[in-house]
């Protein structure tokens, strides 16, 4: 099987997850504050099941602590992601998520001493220009950075911290091992939000009696889809060039435009993407610039 096909398949799955999350927020739980709790429960069950099937693999105490911490921090990032998704179009949120490599490279430079190249700086500039272009209000015709923008930026910073924590592990091997322990960390992060924030706890308890079972069923599906996407990515890396596989993950922005258009046409009461020809053309143009920036950052 072609590595190129696999590298393009994985982001299509990731984009599906974004739209399923949007559906859950809009039609099921109604309050994004409860989503991290549902996600934590789903990841706990899914990860523990994978651990049992895999023969209960164990990590060293150091690696286990770092991977679990990585998952807990990532769940805090997902909390911001869910809030942003509740307030904005899925395609816009998906595009903003593509700035995560900028945060990762910046933290890597500050904490790990990794040097940034001129090409990567150029890539940063293109990504920034694209994001600002996508943030232009179509009525006022000016850049409008709303709450969703800043929530995703906060989430991306936390995702970058989560990634950097993995870099501090020693001889960490095995996709299943990482997935299992990170899922436990995600569950701990969800539990922390449940215990710490009354609004999250109230939103979860209020929705659970009505839609808890169906929401968790869908969450298990998205967790399975995420695991498949990760496995497909690793298989693509094993068959092809690592840098190009990473770069092609940026095609998620184009899948978001495609899925958003189709879903808005089919289910306008649930999805509300801008699908006028000029809006789609603008999204495609800025997404191309964004992808070019991601390409420069990833291939440098």
Concatenating the DSSP letter of every residue in 232-288 gives HHHHHHHHS-HHHHHHHGGGHHHHHHHHHHHHHHH-TTT-----SHHHHHHHHHHHH
CA dist 159 and 147 (Å) reads: 18
Integer CA distances (angstroms), 263 to 90, 97, 122, 177, in order: 11, 20, 34, 36
Per-residue confidence (pLDDT) for residue 86, from 0 to 100: 94
Contact 36, 193 (CB under 8 A): yes
- Taking only the tens place, the pLDDT of each residue in 123-163 is 888 998 999 888 887 766 778 788 899 999 999 999 999 98
Q: Look at residues 6, 66, 78, 7 and name the one whose alpha carbon lies nearest to residue 245.
A: 7
Integer CA distances (angstroms), 116 to 124, 128, 197, in order: 10, 16, 38
Gap between the terminal Cα atoms of the chain: 27
Give 118's pLDDT tier (boundaries 50, 70, 90). confident
Tokens standing for 48?
């523990």
Q: Quick one: CA torsion of 103, 106, 111, 115, rounded to 10 degrees? A: 140
**3-class state of residue 16 by DSSP:** helix
- Taking only the tens place, the pLDDT of each residue in 27-52 is 999 899 999 999 999 999 999 999 99
Which residues, in sequence order, are CB contacts of 30 under 8 Å at separation 6+?
A: 207
**Across residues 231-249, what is the average pLDDT?**
80
**pLDDT surpassing 80 at residue 206:** yes
CA dist 261 and 142 (Å) reads: 24
Per-residue confidence (pLDDT) for residue 88, from 0 to 100: 93
- Taking only the tens place, the pLDDT of each residue in 5-26 is 988 999 999 999 999 999 999 9
**Structural domain tally of the chain?**
1
**pLDDT surpassing 80 at residue 244:** no
Give me the chain's average pLDDT, please.
Answer: 90
The length of the chain in residues reads: 300
CA 279 to chain CA centroid, Å, is 24
Model pTM score: 0.91
Give 113's pLDDT tier (boundaries 50, 70, 90). confident
CA dist 59 and 222 (Å) reads: 26
**pLDDT surpassing 70 at residue 1:** no
Range of the domain at 21: 3-299
Burial of 17 (0-12, 13-18, 19+ CB in 10 A): middle
Give 300's pLDDT tier (boundaries 50, 70, 90). low
């Amino acid at each position: 099987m072609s590595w190129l096909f696999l590298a393009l398949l994985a982001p299509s799955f990731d984009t599906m997850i974004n739209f399923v999350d949007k559906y859950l927020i809009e039609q099921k739980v109604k309050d994004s504050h409860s989503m991290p709790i549902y996600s934590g429960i789903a990841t706990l069950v899914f990860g523990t099941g994978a651990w049992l099937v895999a023969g209960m693999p164990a990590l060293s105490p150091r690696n286990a602590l770092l991977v679990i911490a990585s998952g807990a921090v990532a769940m805090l990032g997902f909390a911001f992601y869910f809030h942003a998704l509740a307030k904005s179009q899925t395609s816009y949120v998906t595009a903003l998520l593509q700035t995560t490599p900028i945060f990762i490279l910046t933290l890597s430079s500050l904490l790990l001493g990794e040097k940034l190249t001129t090409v990567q700086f150029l890539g940063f500039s293109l990504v920034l220009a694209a994001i600002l272009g996508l943030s232009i209000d179509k009525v006022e015709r000016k850049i409008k950075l709303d709450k969703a923008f800043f929530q995703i930026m906060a989430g991306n910073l936390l995702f970058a911290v989560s990634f950097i924590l993995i870099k501090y592990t020693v001889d960490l091997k095995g996709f299943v091992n990482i997935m299992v322990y990170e899922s436990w960390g995600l569950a701990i992060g969800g539990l922390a939000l449940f215990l710490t924030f009354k609004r999250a706890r109230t939103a979860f308890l209020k929705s659970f009696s009505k839609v808890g079972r169906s929401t968790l069923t869908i969450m298990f599906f998205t967790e399975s889809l995420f695991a498949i996407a990760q496995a497909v990515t690793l298989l693509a890396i094993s068959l092809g060039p690592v840098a190009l596989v990473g770069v092609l993950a940026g095609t998620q922005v184009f899948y978001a435009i495609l899925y958003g258009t189709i879903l808005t046409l089919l289910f306008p009461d649930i999805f509300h993407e801008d699908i006028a020809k000029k809006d789609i053309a603008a999204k495609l143009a800025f997404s191309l610039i964004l992808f070019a920036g991601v390409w420069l950052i990833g291939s440098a």
